Structure 1
Amino acid sequence: MSNSAFIHDTADVKSLSIGDGTRVWQYVVVLPGAKIGSDVNLCSHCLVENDVVIGDRVTVKSGVYLWDGIHIADDVFIGPNVTFTNDKFPRSKMYPDTFAQTRIEKGASIGGGAVLLPGITIGTGAMVGAGAVVTKSVPPYAIVMGSPARVAGFVGDGADPATVSSSTRSDLPADPETSSRVGVGVGDVTLHRFKRFSDARGDLSVGEFLQDVPFQPKRYFLVFNVPEEKKRGEHAHLRCHQFLICVKGSCTAVVDDSISRKEISLDSPEIGLYLPPMTWGTQYKYSRDAVLLVFTSDYYDASDYIGEYAEFVKIARNQENV
């Protein structure tokens, strides 16, 4: 145990693995196997079992019990009376061989009174609303709330992290007979408006490949019948370019280059969104009638997908340093 850690006289701390500057307050119980990092603040009336790992600069407010199998990364905030669980089918005096692993990734925040079911991951930078009941893993930087918890938005970056900023068709020139595009502030992602012609027979929207769509597609797919609470995407591509058009209804796309994030509403067949390689894309808030058309620059290749956000960030940062 670090000599600079503060342990209140009423605390019962058996672990010797406690980092510099950590403060353990009144009536906290820490079992011998627990590993606690530096500058952690464990507020009063908390319990930390053996198979628990707490990173650096973590705040755990009062009344939180951390059971075996809970691993918490750096810079996490856990509000008062958050309830963790580690056994999906608990029975008195019956113990599983191993407890379910719950992971809270770097920079995530969990609001007071939230309940987390076992075996889930709260992604990097995510925010769980107070009183939420979290039954499944939360994507990086997602904001979830309710019972069961559902994605209500995504965390922004910069000066106002409360919610991600958005780009809409109002950012594009308004001339319907001229195609246009504008950067959204996330890497080389661009928002496009196609030409639109209207008369008594109806409306026509047209785009040309290599001019309006900046690549020659080899494949397309359609996404439809998506339940309103579900998310799609949640991956990046190493080499493949994508172009998204919501040809019916509406959905919302979140794009992320590992540094910045932006939310874009796709609600018209004359609006398209270009995603270059190494863009993390998520689509959610599908209307019941939404049909999302996606063009891709390459044929399907499973090896081109990056499905873990942490891996995506690592690859992106490595590319920046080349």
Structure 2
Amino acid sequence: MNIRIIEIPKIEDYRGNLAIIEKEVLPYEIKRVYYLYDVPSTAHRGGHAHKEQMEFLVALSGSFDVIVNDGNQIEKVTLNKPNKGLLIHTNIWRELENFSSGAVCLVLASDVYKEDDYIRDYEEFVNAIS
């Protein structure tokens, strides 16, 4: 499956740690940054795939599960450390669930918002990748 956990370089200090995401960490230039917060624990986010956009998800606080599906295989990835993120390439269906109290999901995207890049219907996703 075309996903990968990436460890974010960090500087450890007795005053607190500093995680750094610069151009060599991700295989693309960051064009959009957004974050999810105050998500109820029973809510589901995502429910789509991207045709061309890649995304890097980081649990800045708390934890949540990312269910990824490439049409052949389904995998659950739990994000719960602010110095590790999940890189999701194109044509991967993703759903986010099981948000802990206070969870914050940071998303660093390879492109600006473009509605025509989204595949929001699962059947359409399956047909597009086969």
TM-score higher than 0.5 here?
A: yes
The SS at the match of 1:228 is coil
- Alignment partner of 1:255 is 2:50: no
Runs of 4+ in 1 over 3 A off after TM superposition: none
State how far apart, in whole Å, the 2-side matches of 1:311 and 1:203 are: 43
State how far apart, in whole Å, the 1-side matches of 2:75 and 2:25 are: 21
The SS at the match of 1:199 is coil
What displacement does 1:197 show? 2.5
Structure 2: 5+ residue stretches without partners: none
The SS at the match of 2:65 is strand
- Residue 135 of structure 1 aligns with which residue? none
What displacement does 1:295 show? 0.9
Give the alignment partner of residue 79 of structure 2, picking from 266, 285, 291. Answer: 266
Residues 247-286 of structure 1, C-alpha deviations (whole Å, 9 max, x = no match):
1111110111100111111001101101111010111010
Aligned partner of 1:273: which letter?
L
The SS at the match of 1:247 is strand
Name the TM-score, length of structure 2 as normaliser: 0.95
- Alignment partner of 1:197 is 2:11: yes
State how far apart, in whole Å, the 2-side matches of 1:204 and 1:295 are: 18
- Residue 221 of structure 1 aligns with which residue? 34
Give the alignment partner of residue 314 of structure 1, picking from 119, 127, 130. Answer: 127
Q: CA RMSD in A?
A: 1.0
The structure with the greater share of residues assigned to strand is: 2
State how far apart, in whole Å, the 2-side matches of 1:213 and 1:255 are: 19
Aligned partner of 2:12: which letter?
S
State how far apart, in whole Å, the 2-side matches of 1:258 and 1:315 are: 10
Residues 155-199 of structure 1, C-alpha deviations (whole Å, 9 max, x = no match):
xxxxxxxxxxxxxxxxxxxxxxxxxxxxxxx2x211111122222
Q: Percent identity?
A: 32
State how far apart, in whole Å, the 1-side matches of 2:108 and 2:14 are: 30
How many residues are matched? 130
What displacement does 1:205 show? 1.5
State how far apart, in whole Å, the 1-side matches of 2:13 and 2:84 are: 19
Give the alignment partner of residue 54 of structure 2, picking from 241, 244, 259. Answer: 241
In our comparison, the structure showing a higher alpha carbon Rg is 1
- Alignment partner of 1:301 is 2:129: no
Structure 1: 5+ residue stretches without partners: 1-185, 318-322
Higher RCO, 1 or 2 (CA under 8 Å, sep at least 6)? 2
Residues 97-130 of structure 1, C-alpha deviations (whole Å, 9 max, x = no match):
xxxxxxxxxxxxxxxxxxxxxxxxxxxxxxxxxx
What displacement does 1:208 show? 2.0
Name the TM-score, length of structure 1 as normaliser: 0.40
